[in-house]
Chain A
């Protein structure tokens, strides 16, 4: 089955840029989606189709995907961005959803 690898944690100061990576074999050939989850809450979609944003998600959230790495970039990080972030792909060969292990973003 397809495996997605994320760093367990990323730390960034307020106002700086956070980059959260998601590694997978030739992930650039897949569409990658990203979710934000705050404690005690359900996940929220923040980026889909590598780089598109759902309505209501700030432009500070962006995504890219190439080669073996997809990246979620959060510009001008705010305290309210502190959360767990998960990448996800759909494995069409097995009709299964696949999530990365998640990355805890800490705002210093």
Chain B
């Protein structure tokens, strides 16, 4: 059974740092595309970052240069290092596994989030 369990959330002051973890079971993190998605209180879903199985990483413009996605293959765990945190980073952070859509499209391969963790709340406030 596929499971994703996030941890590491909490209260942090503006400008501070936090590292989120996402422990996976039932599949191998390093063989899959993995993402972080966040949701500010009362707001919609916002994609944050992705790490491909080959190790390439990409970020939303809102977090580029401040957040770093990584993984520990020996622990089968995904991470999100968050630095220079701002009030607008306050959100529930979800880790999710990506799967490739089967339908070929002119715009390239599409991916969707097939498994999600339960989320961990990050609050940035003084």
Seen from chain A, the residues whose Cβ lies within 8 Å of a Cβ on chain B are 1, 29-31, 33, 35, 37, 42-45, 48-50, 52, 54, 84, 86, 88-90, 92-102
The answer, among B58, B101, B107, B116, for a CB contact under 8 Å with A33, is B101
Which 3 residue pairs of A and B lie closest in terms of their CB atoms, listed nearest first?
A92-B108, A97-B47, A31-B110
- Distance in angstroms between the alpha carbons of A49 and B109 in the assembled complex: 11
Establish whether residues A92 and B109, one from each chain, have CB atoms under 8 Å apart when the complex forms: yes
In this complex, the interface size class of chain B, counting residues with CB under 8 Å from chain A, is 20 to 34
Seen from chain B, the residues whose Cβ lies within 8 Å of a Cβ on chain A are 35, 37, 44-47, 50, 56, 58, 60-61, 94, 99, 101-103, 105-114, 116-119
Establish whether residues B58 and A96, one from each chain, have CB atoms under 8 Å apart when the complex forms: yes
- Distance in angstroms between the alpha carbons of A45 and B56 in the assembled complex: 25
Across the interface, name the chain B residue whose C-beta is closest to A52: B102
Establish whether residues A88 and B119, one from each chain, have CB atoms under 8 Å apart when the complex forms: no
9 contacts between A and B (CB under 8 A): A31-B110, A33-B110, A43-B116, A49-B112, A90-B111, A92-B109, A96-B50, A97-B113, A99-B47
- Distance in angstroms between the alpha carbons of A30 and B106 in the assembled complex: 7
